[in-house]
Structure 1
Amino acid sequence: MSKVVLITGGSSGIGKSIGEFLSHKGFKVYGTSRSPERYTSSKFPILKLDVKDVSTISTCVQSLLEKEDRIDIVINNAGVGITGPIEEIPLDEMKNHFNTNFFGPLEVIKAVLPQMRKQQSGLIINVTSIAGYMGLPYRGIYSASKGALELATEALRMEVKAFNIKMTNVAPGDFATNIASGRFHAPVHENSPYKLQYENTLKLMDSHVDSGKDPIIMAEAIFKIINTENPKIHYKVGELLQKFSIVLKRVLPDKVYEKMLLNHYKL
Structure 2
Amino acid sequence: MSRPGYQRASSTNIQSGGAPRPLEGKLAIVTGASRGIGAAIARNLAAKGASCILGYTSDKSTEVTEQLAKELQDKNSVSTLIIQADMGNPNGPAHIINTAKNHFSHPRSGKFQIDIIINNAAVSLNLPLEEVTIDNYNWQYTVNVLGPILLMQAALPYLPHDRSGRVINLSSVSSSLGLIGQTVYGGTKAAIDSMTRTWARELAERCTVNAVNPGPVATDMYGETSGDFQLQMKNHIKSAPLMKERKGVDPDQYVADAEKVGGRPGYDYEIAGVVGMLCSEDGAWCTGSVVCANGGLKFST
TM-score scaled to structure 2, two decimals? 0.69
* Structure 1: runs of 5 or more not aligned: 186-198, 248-267
Whole-Å separation in 1 of the counterparts to 2:287 and 2:137 = 30
Whole-Å separation in 1 of the counterparts to 2:150 and 2:55 = 14
Output one character per residue of 1:37-83: Cα deviation in whole Å (capped at 9) or x when no partner: 33321134321121112322212211112222221000000011221
Q: Is the 8 A contact 1:174 1:208 kept in 2?
A: no
Whole-Å separation in 2 of the counterparts to 1:21 and 1:174 = 20
Q: 1:38 aligns with which of 63, 75, 99?
A: 63
Matched, 1:141 2:184: yes
Q: Is the 8 A contact 1:180 1:209 kept in 2?
A: no
Whole-Å separation in 2 of the counterparts to 1:147 and 1:84 = 17
Q: 1:9 aligns with which of 32, 41, 52?
A: 32
Matched, 1:52 2:88: yes
Q: Higher helix proportion, which one?
A: 1
- Partner of 1:26, secondary structure, is coil
Q: 1:77 aligns with which of 120, 125, 144?
A: 120
- Partner of 1:82, secondary structure, is coil
Q: 1:177 aligns with which of 196, 219, 227?
A: 219
- 2:202 equivalent in structure 1: 159
Percent identity (aligned) = 23
- Amino acid across the alignment from 1:165: C
- Amino acid across the alignment from 2:67: S
Q: 2:288 aligns with which of 229, 233, 237?
A: 233
Q: Identify the range of structure 1 (48-57 vs 71-80) with the bigger mean alpha-carbon deviation.
A: 48-57
Q: 1:213 aligns with which of 266, 272, 278?
A: 266
Query: Which fold has the larger relative contact order, with Cα–Cα distance below 8 Å and residues 6 or more apart in sequence?
Result: 1
Whole-Å separation in 2 of the counterparts to 1:12 and 1:95 = 24
- 2:277 equivalent in structure 1: 224
Whole-Å separation in 1 of the counterparts to 2:161 and 2:90 = 21
- 2:142 equivalent in structure 1: 99
* Structure 2: runs of 5 or more not aligned: 1-8, 10-24, 73-80, 105-111, 235-259
Q: Is the 8 A contact 1:51 1:100 kept in 2?
A: yes
CA RMSD of aligned residues (A): 2.5
- Partner of 1:172, secondary structure, is coil
- Amino acid across the alignment from 2:36: G
Whole-Å separation in 1 of the counterparts to 2:156 and 2:54 = 18
TM-score scaled to structure 1, two decimals? 0.78
Q: Is the 8 A contact 1:153 1:168 kept in 2?
A: yes
Q: How many residue pairs get matched?
A: 230
- 1:127 equivalent in structure 2: 170
Q: Is the 8 A contact 1:135 1:144 kept in 2?
A: no
Whole-Å separation in 1 of the counterparts to 2:181 and 2:92 = 32
- Partner of 2:213, secondary structure, is strand
- Partner of 1:237, secondary structure, is coil
Q: 1:7 deviation in Å? A: 0.2
